[in-house]
A and B are shown apart, each in its own frame.
Chain A
Amino acid sequence: MRTFLPRLGAAVVLGVIAWYLSRTLNQFRDYQIAEIAVYVTAVAGLTVLTGLSGQISLGNGAFMAIGAYTTALLLIHQSWPFYAALVVAGAAAAAAGGVVGIAAARLRGPYLAGATLLLGVALPSIALAWPGVFGGDQGLNVVFTVPSFLGANFPLTRWQAWVSAAVALVTLLLLANLMYSRIGRNWRAVRDDEVAAALDGINVAATRVRAFVVSAACAGLAGSLLAVVTGLVGPGAYTVTLSIQLLTAAVIGGLGSLPGALWGSLIIVLVPTYITDVATSHGQSATVGANIPIAAYGVVLILVMLVFPQGIQGGLRRLLIAFFGPNQKSRTWRIAPTSDVTPSADEPSASQHEKEGTI
């Protein structure tokens, strides 16, 4: 409870900021808020999977596709309310994540990366293979409307931003609770030393599968949101590029950190638009403008991993500690690492994560 209240407070503050921005900014910014919220939801799930349980996924875009297509099909054919479809979309993606996770629990490092990459490449082709069901290349159109109690003049983009931000914040809150529960501790234990974790009575395989289920559920929710935010669900939106963008956001923000997921999502949504604007205003073509951010992501991914593996959140934490000193209150309950298991500076360890009291 003592750690839950600050987290709830942080979520409420973020929610108020999103609410205020959505009211003061224009429709395009509303759309960007919604987009950021979608990314936060998906990236938070990935950062938990990779940063906490130590499993990489280059296929989380595929789980987003599952969520998006589930939502589209339920809305179009069953006329379900969006909120029900959202839950089912998350559940469908979670089920898929369970299947992948069972296969993944036996895989390590590059094998897992390759298998999930193939998943990311293969899954969108289902939509093209059965165009009758999934709309093929054209995709499926999703209609999303403002509820009547908000009045007829309420802008749709603002409602989309509100719904997306609400889902993202609830997801962050749930993930934060999960991270500091027994489940989260087990993830970190398995990541840091599988054998030691198994000797402590942790079911290593089940723990790893659970991480995949949680991560896929988040991606499924994000996919469902993206379906109603863009109004179109097509295979072109859920390629490997999306999966790699999610990973980029998680790495930039700092793997394993939920605030990092927010920083990473802000960068991945806002910076490309800005760079494209600057490039096109300097006489570059639109393709050049659109590709400069991609090349920049590549450079940033390499540099962050080589020079600064803890990402933005790691940097912020260092700054805070430099200015205010170590947080004594949260230090009292973390276990000091013994000399022979001192975490390396390159990999955020369990004990370093414990310091984050709030999301």
Chain B
Amino acid sequence: MVEFLQFTLSGIVFGMVYAAVALSLVLIWRGTRVVNFAQGGMAMFTTFVAIEVIYRTHSYWAGFFVALAAGLVLGAASELTIVRPTIGKPPLNVVIVTIGLLVLLEGLAGIFYGGQLRSFPSAFSVTGLKVGGTSLGVSRNDVFVVVAVLVATLALGVMFRYTTAGLRMRAAAFNATIARLSGIRVARVLTVGWALAGLLGALAGVLVSPSIFLSPNSMDTIFVYGFTAAVIGGLDSAVGAVVGGLFLGVALSYVGGYVGGSVGSEIPPLVALGILVAVLMIRPDGLFAGARMRRV
């Protein structure tokens, strides 16, 4: 029973990180109908920026916020420079362009920082919390991870729901032509969407790196989990992305915990693949989507 609790809680912690990546993908997908395959690479890069800042200023929070700002800038810059020119071209082109960005960022990180694994500091203590003598299997820092993603998600939700900028973004995602006719600068709105996605990705990178170490490829797995979470939620739904992230995090935590050994530590990606394929075969539009048809 204690084990079950521990696995569930640590699954929720990782699930929130996957949810953050998934949310960033959903943000971009809703606006531009693009899956940003560089999202993990961007998060990896901003986390290296954070390491650099922390190293120079000896302040975790300086690194934390600079990474978020870097994510914002990187997201907007990517949209403006390489994604916008692919509008109107076959959908395969933009997929390859974002993969190009991923490769570029991984190469740059390799040039500047080398390929070896680096440890990343955590914001709070990583010693396990206890309640009445039983270890919960999560630390103060894990609580911070969950709270940080929740705050970011709620802030985005409030922004989308109650501000004019949020209304503009929803309008642009709902119907770009009509939004444009009502005077919304759709292009600018899309750039803002990419910037916010970059911020969320950067948040995920900074939050997850203390537990997985940082290297040019370290976010690959986190990215595919985030993608899986987003697809479980239908790629279109913010709530779906969070639920998908939590579901995947907990499921993979059970697999890793209960199977154990080398099998338990290595097969989570395969389980995620199984879940992804199952969802795509049974409900291709995700578990949260209504009936829809593909336009021909």
Contact = CB atoms under 8 A, between A and B. Distances in A.
B96 A301 contact: yes
A301 B97 contact: yes
B293 interface: no
Interface in B53-106: 82, 85-86, 89-97, 99-106
B89 A301 contact: no
A126 B100 contact: no
Contacts of A123: 270
B96 A299 contact: no
Q: How large is the interface on B (under 10, 10 to 19, 20 to 34, 35 or more residues)?
A: 35 or more
A305 B110 contact: no
A244 interface: yes
Nearest to A288: B111
A240 B220 contact: yes
5 contacts: A113-B35, A113-B99, A118-B228, A297-B104, A347-B90
Interface string A248-292: 100100000000000000000000000000000000010110111
B34 interface: yes
B273 A244 contact: no
B111 A122 contact: no
Contacts of A136: 262
Contact of A346 (B93, B99, B231, B280): B93
Interface stretch (A17-25, A27-35, A50-58): A50-58
B263 interface: yes
A305 B227 contact: no
A84 to B, nearest CB: 29
A129 interface: yes
Interface stretch (A36-44, A102-110, A211-219, A330-338): A102-110
A351 interface: no
A249 to B, nearest CB: 12
Contacts of A130: 262-263
Top 4 nearest A-B pairs (CB, nearest first) are A298-B104, A295-B107, A301-B100, A291-B110
A72 interface: no
A194 interface: yes
A118 B110 contact: no
A117 B101 CA distance: 15
A115 B262 contact: no
A251 to B, nearest CB: 6
B91 A109 contact: yes
Q: How large is the interface on A (under 10, 10 to 19, 20 to 34, 35 or more residues)?
A: 35 or more
B157 interface: no
Contacts of A103: 277, 280-281
A107 B221 contact: no
B100 A118 contact: no
A315 interface: no
B37 interface: yes
Contacts of A113: 35, 37, 95, 99
A129 B261 CA distance: 8
A60 interface: no
A129 B96 CA distance: 31
A291 B107 contact: yes
Contact of B95 (A110, A131, A285, A295): A110
B52 interface: no
B123 interface: no
Interface in A109-139: 109-111, 113-115, 117-119, 121-123, 125-126, 128-131, 136
